[in-house]
Amino acid sequence: MATADITIFGAGAFGLAVGYACAQRGARVRVIDPNGVASGSSGGLVGALAPHVPENWNDKKAFQLESLLMAESFWSGVESSSGQQTGYLRSGRLQPLNDERSVALAYQRVATAAELWRGQAEWRVQPAADFGTWVPKSASGLVVYDTLTARIHPRKATHALAAAIVGLGGEVVTDGPIEGKIVHATGWRGLVELSEGMSKNIGIGVKGQAALLKFDAADLPQLFADSLHIVPHLDGTVAIGSTSENSFDQPDTPDHQIDAVIDRARAAFPMLADAPVIERWAGVRPRAKSRAPMLGQHPVRSREFIANGGFKIGFGMAPKVGQVMADLLLDGRDTIPPGFRPEASF
C-alpha cells in the first residue's frame, strides 16, 4: 500500500470500525495491532447489541439508537466488502416481568419507545406464552419484547471488518510504518496507560467471562433475565454472559466465576440444562471513567486521536463511532457528543 492517510493502533471493534469507515470514503488505512485482529475483548463470545431503556433520554442513548439503526446496513456492507459473515441479525430480546411494578413500568416504556425510537423499533408487552418454550420465566406471565436488539458474532465480525478494510485497499498488520493521522484504539491497556501518564483515573479494564453452549436457537430472540445475557448465534451455538470484575490477576483466563454463571443460566433457562459447554472465554473490556465511549482529540498526544471505552456496548456503538471519527479525521467535522469527549473522563 502507498503511504497511509490514517494509521490506527488497535484491531478491535472500534479501531476496525474507524478504519472501515475511512476506507469506504477513499482513505488509505493502515491498522496496526501486534497481537492481531480481535485479540482482546472484541474476540469474545456474546455479541449482544441491546439498547438502553427508552426513558431519561440523553446524548449517549441517542447516539446508541442511531448506531443500532445503522447496524443492519453497516454489517451488510462489511459482509459484501469482505465476503465473510458477521453473524448480524436484528432478532429482538425478551425480558421477564415479575411483579406489578415492572409491568406498569414496561407499559410506560411502550409509549416512550414509540416517541424516542421514532417508530423504527418497538418496546412491546406480550404474554410469555406467545414465544413457546424459548422464553424467560415470568411470574406475571408477561414479557417485554423489544424489536431493536440485535446480535453479532464478535470474532467473525471483527475478522470480516479487517478483511473489508483490506478489500478496500487498506492494511491490517502486526507492525508497519506510522503515517498520516494517528488514532489510538488500544482497549483497556490504553486506558490504563493513559491514566498512569496523567496521574489520574481516566478509565479501567473490567474483566468479563462468558461461555458458549451447543444449542441451535439461531432464529430466536435474545433472552435477558437475572443479569444474564443469553444470545443465540447463527452457527447453532448460544452464548452466555457475563461477569464484571474490576479486580483480576489473569485477564484472559476463565475461572470458577464463569462456572457459576453457567449454573445460573441452566437454572433460569431449563431448555439449556443439557446443552454441552464448548468454550469458556475471558477478556477485559475498556471502561472510560465517564462510562461513555472516549472519542476525539487525544488528551495527551498532540494532533493525534482516540477511540476507546466501548466497554459492554462497543459493537453496538461501532457503526456510529466509525462514522463520526471518519467525519473528524477526513473532513474536520466534529459531531462527537460532549459526553464522549476525553475531557468528560477527567
User: What is the Cα–Cα distance from 156 to 82, expressed in whole angstroms?
Assistant: 11
For residue 254, how many other CB atoms are within 10 A of its CB? Answer: 17
User: What is the block-wise mean pLDDT of the chain (346 residues), using blocks of 10 residues?
Assistant: 92 98 98 97 96 94 97 98 97 97 98 96 98 95 98 97 98 97 97 94 96 97 95 97 94 96 94 97 96 96 96 96 98 96 89
Length of the chain: 346
Of the candidates 283, 269, 206, 207, the one whose C-alpha atom is nearest the C-alpha of residue 240 is 269
CB 313 within 8 A of CB 51: no
pLDDT for 346:
85
| Secondary structure (DSSP) of 44-80 | -S--EE-PPPSSS--HHHHHHHHHHHHHHHHHHHHHH
C-alpha cell at 309: 471505552
How far apart are the two ends of the chain, measured CA to CA in Å? 38
pLDDT for 242:
86
Of the candidates 2, 10, 62, the one whose C-alpha atom is nearest the C-alpha of residue 27 is 2
Which amino acid is located at 318 in the chain?
A: A
C-alpha cell at 275: 446443552
Which amino acid is located at 171 in the chain?
A: E
pLDDT tens, 144-194?
999 999 999 999 999 999 999 999 999 999 999 999 999 999 999 999 999
User: What is the Cα–Cα distance from 52 to 77, expressed in whole angstroms?
Assistant: 25
Q: Which residues pair with 207 in a beta bridge?
A: 245, 284
User: What is the Cα–Cα distance from 162 to 148, expressed in whole angstroms?
Assistant: 26
Angle at 150 between CA 41 and CA 222, to 5 degrees: 90
User: What is the Cα–Cα distance from 264 to 260, expressed in whole angstroms?
Assistant: 6
Average pLDDT, rounded, for the chain: 96
> Beta strands of 177-276 (E only): which ranges?
181-184, 203-214, 222-225, 228-232, 237-241
Torsion sign across C-alpha atoms 328, 40, 158, 272? negative
User: What is the Cα–Cα distance from 306 to 191, expressed in whole angstroms?
Assistant: 10
Which amino acid is located at 42 in the chain?
A: S
pLDDT tens, 80-105?
999 999 999 999 999 999 999 999 99
C-alpha cell at 66: 442511531
Distances (CA, A) of 201 to 14, 281, 286, 295, 345: 21, 27, 13, 17, 8
pLDDT for 2:
76
Model pTM above 0.85: yes
pLDDT for 1:
72
Ordered structural domains, the chain, with CATH? 6-88+150-202+289-345 (3.50.50.60), 93-147 (no CATH), 204-285 (3.30.9.10)
